[in-house]
A and B are shown apart, each in its own frame.
Chain A
Amino acid sequence: MSDEVAISVTVNGQVEHVRVEPRLLLVHLLRDELGLTGSHVGCDTSNCGACTVQLDGQSCKSCTVLAVQADGSEVKTIEGMGTEDDLHPLQEGFWAKHGLQCGYCTPGMIMAAADLLERTPNPTEEEIRHGLEGNLCRCTGYHNIVKAVQHAATAMQSAEVSA
């Protein structure tokens, strides 16, 4: 076996010191070593986006990033987005607008949508569809996902105005 590498990754605000095999993928570090099973493995070929997390504030597909590449970085997963009592506006939006059926794609959708709203706080429908083109959903036909993101964008804009 190749030598393990010591890395430090800040995951949802908590610093994690772990020793990993160089070939360990970030998604497996999160799921198997750290127990954060919200990030899903779908296609495992950087197509479907179910494994999307934020790495230093930008969305990425964690099935196509080595854990060692995240050394010294900050990772945010769906578990870091909100709590049951205090949902993130995107989580609220997916709930209110029925943006999911089976739910498998939802964590990745929300993490990709968070990047989209960071880049484009008030997106058009077309910008939402374009911004989420790296995420596949086999249930909803996307219409309610678009509505969920619009719902969140509106909530986040009005929160900013009142802040």
Chain B
Amino acid sequence: MIPAEFDYVAPDTLQEAIAARTAGGEDAKFLAGGHSLLPLMKLRLAAPTLLVDLRKVPGLSGVTRENGHWRIGAMTRHAVLQDSHELGAISTVAAGIADQQIRNRGTIGGSLAHGDPASDLTTAFLAYEGTLTATGPDGPREVAATEFFQDYLTTALAEDEVITEVRMPRLEGYGYGYEKFTRRAEDWAMVGVVALVKQADDGTCEDVRIAMTNMGSTPLRARAAEDALRGRPLDAGSIAEAAGHAADGTDPPADRNASEAYKRHLAQVMTRRALTSATK
């Protein structure tokens, strides 16, 4: 399958890239690793008239630690996150994306900009309550994860903005778990759950964040399950009870792999497993 024709530029600076994107009009697209965009173009579900490749733009890759946050360049590939074990849950989540070939090419900025509720890093970004920098012709602005995902494949990014950096709080003292249920090893999850749990000295749950893939048109927090666990002793009983609320308030779309009822069931089971891993 061959994509429709398009023009291509690979500018040397961010300013040139943004200018090229703006000049290209509404059908121009930024290209990062290409592992969300190129499959859509090959299927002719997307047909941009211009691709502005970010591969030559300096300073967009790498992981650094600063003021209680991880700063992750938008062009940082999943394989780099996978190998950065100090990132904890983010590393584990990245290691579970698709397969090694995909992880070697796909980028965190591309994944977030695509805004697919089925993708792993969007969900981790929401669980961490991260922030990102969106840079456009008027300069950079900060967007919180809680405001970023607006609808299916729709984010708060303006047409001529590009993600340049992603920040995740370091969340010292949190345990984590990531569980995804797939039909085949490399598939997107039918449902995936990221759980981050901070245990207080007395063994109760001081803080918990639970985020789910594929349970709606955006990645979602399992607020009812979080509320059921916060402040409670962390044991198998309280975890199972909280996990029972994972699908509360959700309206997951059925797809070819899973009905709505099955997804609601999976959300509960994956949440219980992820919470159990996070409290080990």
List residues of A whose CB falls within 8 A of some B CB: 1-3, 5, 21-23, 25, 44-47, 49, 52, 55, 58-61, 63-66, 68-69, 71, 112, 115-116, 119, 130-131, 133-135
Contacts and interface: CB of A to CB of B under 8 A. Distances in A.
Interface stretch (B93-101, B111-119, B124-132, B233-241): B93-101
A46 B100 contact: no
Do most interface residues of chain B lie in helix, strand or loop, or is the interface mixed?
loop
A159 to B, nearest CB: 23
A51 B2 CA distance: 15
A113 to B, nearest CB: 10
Contacts of B53: 68-69
B100 A23 contact: no
Q: Which 5 A-B pairs have the closest CB atoms?
A: A134-B99, A22-B8, A133-B185, A58-B104, A23-B3
A75 to B, nearest CB: 13
A65 B186 contact: no
Interface in B51-91: 51, 53, 55, 79
A46 B35 contact: yes
B6 interface: yes
A4 B18 CA distance: 22
Interface of B: 1-8, 10, 31, 34-35, 38-39, 42-43, 51, 53, 55, 79, 98-102, 104-105, 185-186
Nearest to A135: B99
A134 B102 contact: yes
Do most interface residues of chain A lie in helix, strand or loop, or is the interface mixed?
mixed
Contacts of B35: 46, 64
A97 B104 CA distance: 28
B100 A134 contact: yes
Nearest to A23: B3
B102 A23 contact: no
18 contacts: A2-B8, A3-B7, A21-B5, A23-B4, A44-B1, A44-B42, A58-B79, A59-B100, A61-B101, A64-B35, A66-B8, A69-B53, A69-B55, A71-B10, A112-B100, A115-B101, A134-B99, A134-B101
